[in-house]
Each structure stands twice: as C-alpha cells, then as structure tokens.
Chains A and B, each alone.
Chain A
Amino acid sequence: MNKDNEKVRILILDDEPIVCKRLKPAFQKAGYDVETLNDSASAMARIEEAHFDVVITDLKMEGVDGMRFLTRIKEISPDTGVIVITGFATLDTAKESFRKGAFDFLAKPFKLSEILDAVKRVEAGRRQADSASDQPQDDTNGSA
C-alpha cells in the first residue's frame, strides 16, 4: 500500500444504498480508490479476486452476514484493515468483531470525519509496519 504511490483501495459493503452512495464520493475526494457493493454475496466473490487495503462492512445484512464476511477477508488477506459499521452496535458485537480481527468498529450514525479518520489510522499503521519490515532484521546486517 502506497509503496509505489498507488492509491489505497477500499471496498465498501452495505446493503443500504445510501451508505455506499455517500461514502464513495467522500473517499474519492480524499484520494482513495473506492468500490461499493450492496450485497454480501457479490462482495464475498469480489474479495476472492481482488486485494483491498481497507474493507468497510456493515454487520447485519441479508445473505452472508458481516461477521462471516469479516472472517473470510482476514483468512484471504490478513493485512487488510477491516472497519465494521453497524446500526445494531452492542458491546458483544464490538468484542467479537475485534476478536475476529476488525481494525475499528463504528456505530451508525457516524460522522464522515470519523470513518475518514479510521481509514487514515489503518494507513498509518500499515506504513509503520512497512517501515519496520524494511529495517534490517538482524543486528549483524545493520550498520554500526
């Protein structure tokens, strides 16, 4: 991500069209490459064929629910930052999301600035991880 100045790729999955309709231009304006989907089956297929740096997903949907979707993304792409958005936020669902590897959990309604901030934190975390991995792993290879 960002290594070759490529845009950060985001997939947004929410069965309420208004959420995708509003998030897409907001992330595009902020310089991200965004795809949106309204059904979880299509999203499930999409993550099998393409890599996304960030996935934003609703929890409660027809078909494959967000929790299963989250599990699958982390299996396919452990480094993808997953942000869970839900209108039915409980402490239990938040805990379970984090246990399954979610990066952040936002209850609807949320501010646009909050989700933009969450994505920036995913980016920052990834940059930090990348620079750590670029460092010499072993003192013997490092400079004095």
Chain B
Amino acid sequence: MAGYLRSLFSRRGGCKQEQESPTSLRSLFHKFRRILELNNAIMEKMAELESALGGEYIFDNAFLSRAVRDMSGLVHQVAYSLNAMTDDRYVELYDRYEYIKGVLDDILSGGLGPQASRLAMGFPELHWENLPLAGMPNVCLAELLRTPHIGAVDGFVVTVTACRLMQEKGMTPKLEQAILRETDALWQRLGRPEGLAVSACPAGGSEPASGLPAQESNREHIVRDVLEACRKGVALGWRDMAVGVRERVPSEYWGRLRTCCPESRTLGAMSLAMSGPAGEEHYNLRRAHPFPPAESDIRPKDEAVRLPDGVKPLTPVGGGLLRGSGLLPADSQRLIAEAGIVLERALGAPQELHLCLDREGVPRILDAAVAEIVEEAADADDLAAVLDQAKVLLRGGNSAQAGAAAGKVVHIKEGDDPEEFPLGAVAVARAASPQLAPFLLKAGALVTELGSTIGHLATVAREYRIPAVFGAAGALKTLKPGAEVTVDASVPVVYAGSLDILLSQSRAGSELYATDPEFTTLRRLLQFIMPLKLTDSGSESFAPQNCRSFHDIIHFAHERAVEELLDAHEGGGACIEPHRLEMRIPLNIGLVDAGGGLAEDAGPVVTRDDILSEPMHRFLGGLRYAWDNRENLQVSMRDIFSGMQRTAAVLQAPAEQGMNLAILATGYFNLSLHMGYHYSVVDAFMQDNPHQNYIYFRFAGGFADAERKNRRAELIRRVLATLQFNVEMTGDLVTGRLKIVDRETMADALEQLGILTAFTRQLDISMGREDSLGRMEQAFREVAAQYEAAKELP
C-alpha cells in the first residue's frame, strides 16, 4: 500500500520535459484505448461463459473450445499492448499467459489439470473441479464437509496420478511420503480418530462411479492398505482410479439414502433405510424441506431396548410427548435428507449415500455417489396436466441458475442473520445484493425483484446450483412469508404449493448437470478464467508472476496501463499536459483525454460541462452536490462538515498540493483522488451493453488512528454493499466491484460514489465513537436521498 501511495505522490510534479511529438502521444493513447476495448471484449466473453454454467444456454464442446481460443487471443493482445506501451517492461506477463492458456488447453483435452502432479490431497483442498483427479465419492464427501451441520467424514485422497504411479512402480518413497503426510494432517484435523477406512473408486473419466466397500485400516498400516486397495481396483479392470482414506466411525447402526426411489408409492420420495441391533426401519421422505416422512415402516420394539441415541422407546421427552420407537428422530432424518439433496442439487443426478450413527446417535455420511438408477422424466402429459391446474403466483424475471425447488417463503434483506434462515426455504429479496451470498448455503431457491443474472450473487447461485430467478417484479408482495411455493427457475415461474411432479421432472430435465462432461469442463475452465485475486495494485504481490487467471492478467494490464498514462504526465515518456478542471470543490483535478472524454474545443481549463465522458460526468455530479449543499444538509451532516473544516488545516498533507489525475475516454474514466492522507481510485466503463459495464472502487489510507480508519472503512463497505458492489476489506483498504449492470444502475452508482467521496473526505475525524458509524451511515443515506429528490425537481 505504501508503495502505491509513493508511486502516486511521485507523479505530482508537473511536466519536466518538452512535450513529445503528437504521434507518440497518440500512439500511447491508442494502445491504452486498445487495452480498454480488449478488456471489455474479454469481460463480455467471461459473462457468456458464466451464463452458460447456469444452464441458461444450450452449448457444446465446440463452443467451449472456440470461446477459450477467442479469449486467449484477446488476452494475448492485452499483454502485447501493455508491453508496447511500456517498452516491454512486463514480458513476464507472456509467461503467465502461456501457463494459463496451457492449463485451459489441457482441461479442454480432458487432462487432469494443473494439480495433476499432486499425489495426495486432503478433503479440505478438494473441490468439484478435482473430480477427474480425485473420483466422485471423495469429492462428494469433501463438498459435504463444507456444508454446515451435515456430518460427513473427513479424509484424504490418493489421486489418480498416484494410483498410476503405484500400478507402474509399486509403492515409491515419494508416494509413501505423500500418504503419510496427509495421514498426519488428517490426524491433526480429527484429534483422536478411532481408525481409518480405505476404499478405491474409478476416476479420471467423466462417468460417475461409486467405490469398493471400505476396508478398515489404521495409521500404522495405511501405506500397505492403500496399495492393496489400488490392486483391487486393477483386478476389476479400472484404468484410472483414486483411493479415498477416511475417518472410521465405530457404529452399530448403518443406513442408506437414495434420493430417488422409482419403486416408492410416493411420487418423487427419497428412500431411507436403517438397520442395527434394535431392528430395521424404512422411511420415504418428501423432497421439500423439512423432508417429512410420507411413509414410514417402523416396527414395534421392546421397551427395554436402547435406541441409537441411548434412549429407551416411549421415554417422556417433555411437553407431554414420548420419544417414540423409531431409530431415527425427525431431526436426524432431516439431516440425512439434506445431505442427499445438497449433493443431488450439485450433481444433478440421484444420489446414494451410505451412513452410520455414531455413539451419540448422530448421523455420519460415510460414502456418496451418483445412484445407478435410471430415472425417466416424468410423463409429459401428467406434468402438463399438473402445471395446467397449478396456481401461478409469479411469472417472469431472468434465470440465474436453472432448476426447480420447493419450500416455504422467507423474505430476506442485508443484515439479516443467515444462521436463522431455515434450510431449504425459498429466499425472496428486493435486490440481488452480493451480501446475501451466505443465505445461498441454506436456501432451496432464491427469487429477487432486482439484480443482474451475471453479478456476484448469480455466480454464487451457480456455484451452489441453487435455482435462482432475478428481476422478478413484485416478488416480495406476491410471495408471502410462510407460503409453500415451487420455484421453476428454468422458465422462470413460481407456483403455489409443492409440485412433486415438477421437482421429480427437474432431475431428468434440461438443466446442465455436474455429471455432464461439458459442465465439468466449463466449471474447471472458469477456475482459470474468472477469479480476480490480484486486486491491490499497491502491494508487492501485484506482479505478473502472481497472475492466476485471465482476469488477473487483464486487471493487471489495465492498472499498469493507467499508471503508464499518468506517469507520462511526469515527463518520463510522452509528456501530457492535463486540462485543469475548474470546480468549486477544493480538489485540484487534472484531466487527461484518451479520446472522446472532453469536448473537442476544450481549452487548458475546463468545466464539468466540457466533460463528454458520461461516467466521469455522473461521478462529479454527486461529488459537487454533496459539497455544494454541505451547509443545507441535515444536522448530522452539518456536524460532520463543520468538523471537517475545523480540522482541515491539521489534515492538509503535503501531497494535497499536487494534482489529482483522471484519464477520460468515451464511456470511461479513471480517477486517482488524494484528500489529505487518504486516497481513492475510481475506474469505470459505462455504455449500453451491460456485459461490458463495471465500476472498480478502491479506498485506503487516512490520518486518524486505526480504530477511526477502520470505522470509516466499515462505513464505506456498508454503503458500497447497499449499492450492490461486491466488497472486500483488508485492514483499512476497501475494494468494491460492480459489474454487468445496466446504464441506469451505473449512473446511480457513480453519482452515489461521488457523494460518498465528498462525504468521506477526512471523515475519520468525526468517527471517534462506535455509535458514530450508524449515525454516519444514516447521514449518508439522507444526503443520497436529498440528491435523488433534487434530481427530480424541474
């Protein structure tokens, strides 16, 4: 961070050299604009790929190959353009580009991916994209481990690569070392497990498959037993396999859940069977939360027998009720059903789970895989008849993630506690705010009135494969809290009640399933295209060698291209004389026009009216309003500004005397703004195509103590979150990203950022107490509301 501040402050000196020829200046601007255009074209392609993952589009492998090839070509041009701007200062960017492109090509050709060299991996490291390397049952358990309240067993996997090595050379020292290292790590995670269970499963191909029955093992014999499991797989003729090593749970009660049970008399019911010393039982559970039994086969038991939870049948449990004689209390049935539904939703195929009850009677999931059940789609005529009769509560909106789910409606908003959200319920919200993401861990479906299907929340919905509809007007009014509804996000439509036939049909429907090779390939590709990890341009890690995705590369190139253009002002290269912006605000802003940002006849001094760049115009509109009206605002606001004026002299940093630079172009601006000891950066692109629109906002620094700075950072975080930004905080550095929104939303967000920028100017002085945070947030909202009202005046 300090490095970035230094680099920005070092720019403030004015032009030291004579202006270079217009040709080189034009060339610099041309390359900068080229990077902008390329970045926007790449962002559009990323959005297209993300949408494809949600099941909205029909596509094939040829599309994936072509999309990756096209995108690779564009990213290469970004690296080239940046190096052309900077005299080849970032040639390492080509290396990262080549590496990532190589990984993408490998995935497209069915390779194991960049982790192919790993011999063993702990479950906490495993994700869906590791399926070809780790095998279905291991990845399923790993994913269940991440789901709250579901008791899956922990473990590690000896990968396909390791098994190939074992088949070729037997147990090598390197392999033995990897297994023992993961065993030690597992021991640390579990404390004192009672033993291990080892099981091989086929892997490497696209088809799901369950493994061999697990064999008991222990820490001393684990290497031998892994080798033995691998040999069993070879004997079965498996070409590629992985070996799972898991915690062994001593138990007397064993069970099996099938999330699809064609033989059941209850349409679409799940089948759960348990057996143990106290007898056998069978339940058909409904598929809608809380998964109540539609049918139960519970045999009478001797009153003296101890049930799995240690209690005798018919023991009073309070409230005048008796325990009953079932092996599984309702809570346990629900937990098991949840585990099945979580996996079924993620994989889009019926699941078979093997489980046991531990000594306390708590269910533990031991094994999971796609069930070998051939499930036909519900009869189209039956389905059509049911849908004809069904009451449509809501129609319309955009599908962010296809699929169907039923549950009770719960209205949610930012600030609500996700812990209190009932699992499996249908979440209904006003806007698709990124802050609602934690609810998706528990929701059965999500419906919002506003929001982009390619924003952050849509990405999370696709990650968890939660049926999601955004932009469904009137959802909050129509979908009443507590009402049972069925959401068919593929259409999209919301029906009254739980439509079992639709839920059943959706499992054999048109969605893209995790078991489809195209889905697996796309999800794996996106891991090396989409994530943006390189966000802090001031940190030492902001370097080409740390680019992990195409997104990182284009973000890096953009930031450095902006700096290059601003550095040209200093006189190191093509010298740029910025236009000075005349405003009543005491901020010295210089404007560098990269093309189409200013009126053609703009002179050395310009006003806001000369600015043709709409995003900059909007931002300055908000900034100027908040400043001009500082005396006419509510009391709380006056307090803030008077406090600011009193302390202005104290806060005046040496850098304040320099110039704040903005680069403008048609539909684009980048502004680095220094106020006192803190600074912010706004980078925005705005035009008619929502897929190319974005705002990137960064705020850091400050004069006050850490506590006040953190309060201000928290205030900014809250405001950005309300504006639908995806926000991250690291210390007092706040970064917010808004992407893929329409022009109107962009305009509103930029005006509010302008207000926020004026508002937060030296605000930390006013935030001496914890309660000031809420007061300031309220004050900001008042200013923003007054601005909106003022805009509507003739």
Contact = CB atoms under 8 A, between A and B. Distances in A.
A45 to B, nearest CB: 23
B509 A111 contact: no
Contact of A109 (B52, B377, B380, B383): B52
A76 B254 CA distance: 61
A87 B60 contact: yes
Contacts of B380: 28-29, 31
A8 interface: no
A25 B377 contact: yes
A122 B175 CA distance: 62
Contacts of A85: 58
Contacts of A47: none
Nearest to B377: A25
In which size bucket is the chain B interface? 20 to 34
B490 A112 contact: yes
A18 B516 contact: yes
B62 A31 contact: no
Interface hub of B52, B505, B509, B510 (most chain A Cβ within 10 A): B510
B58 A110 contact: yes
B594 interface: no
A26 B380 CA distance: 10
> Which 5 residue pairs are nearest across A and B when measured between Cβ atoms?
A26-B510, A16-B60, A109-B59, A109-B57, A28-B380
11 contacts: A16-B62, A18-B518, A19-B58, A21-B516, A22-B510, A23-B58, A26-B510, A29-B505, A85-B58, A109-B63, A111-B56
Interface hub of B52, B58, B384 (most chain A Cβ within 10 A): B58
B216 interface: no
A91 B383 CA distance: 40
A53 interface: no
In which size bucket is the chain A interface? 20 to 34
A108 B510 contact: no
Given A22-B511, A88-B62, A109-B52, 8 more contacts: A16-B62, A18-B517, A22-B510, A22-B512, A25-B508, A29-B380, A87-B59, A87-B60
Contacts of B169: none
B541 interface: no
B510 A25 contact: yes
A1 B510 CA distance: 25
B60 A108 contact: yes
B384 A110 contact: no
B510 A23 contact: yes
Contacts of B60: 14, 16, 18-19, 87, 108
Contacts of B791: none
Contacts of A23: 58, 510
Interface string A91-126: 000000000000000001111100100000000000
B10 interface: no
B58 A29 contact: no
B61 interface: yes
Contacts of A108: 58-60, 62-63
A112 B377 contact: no
Interface string A7-19: 0000000101011
Contacts of A87: 59-60, 62-63, 66
A114 to B, nearest CB: 9
B55 to A, nearest CB: 8
A66 B628 CA distance: 66
Contacts of A26: 490, 509-510
A111 B402 CA distance: 12
Contacts of A110: 57-58
B449 interface: no
Nearest to A85: B58
Contact of B510 (A16, A31, A112): A112
Contacts of B62: 16, 87-88, 108
Interface in B343-384: 377, 380, 383-384
Interface string B487-519: 000100000000000000100111110001110
B48 interface: yes
B399 to A, nearest CB: 9
A109 B505 contact: no
B458 to A, nearest CB: 15
B509 A112 contact: no
Contacts of A109: 48, 52, 57-59, 63
Contacts of B510: 22-26, 29, 112
A21 B380 CA distance: 16
Contacts of A31: 380, 384
B164 to A, nearest CB: 28
A112 B517 CA distance: 19
A81 B490 CA distance: 25
A82 to B, nearest CB: 17
Nearest to A15: B60
A128 B57 CA distance: 30
B54 to A, nearest CB: 11
Interface string A76-89: 00000000010110
B86 to A, nearest CB: 36
A31 B388 CA distance: 11
A85 B52 CA distance: 16
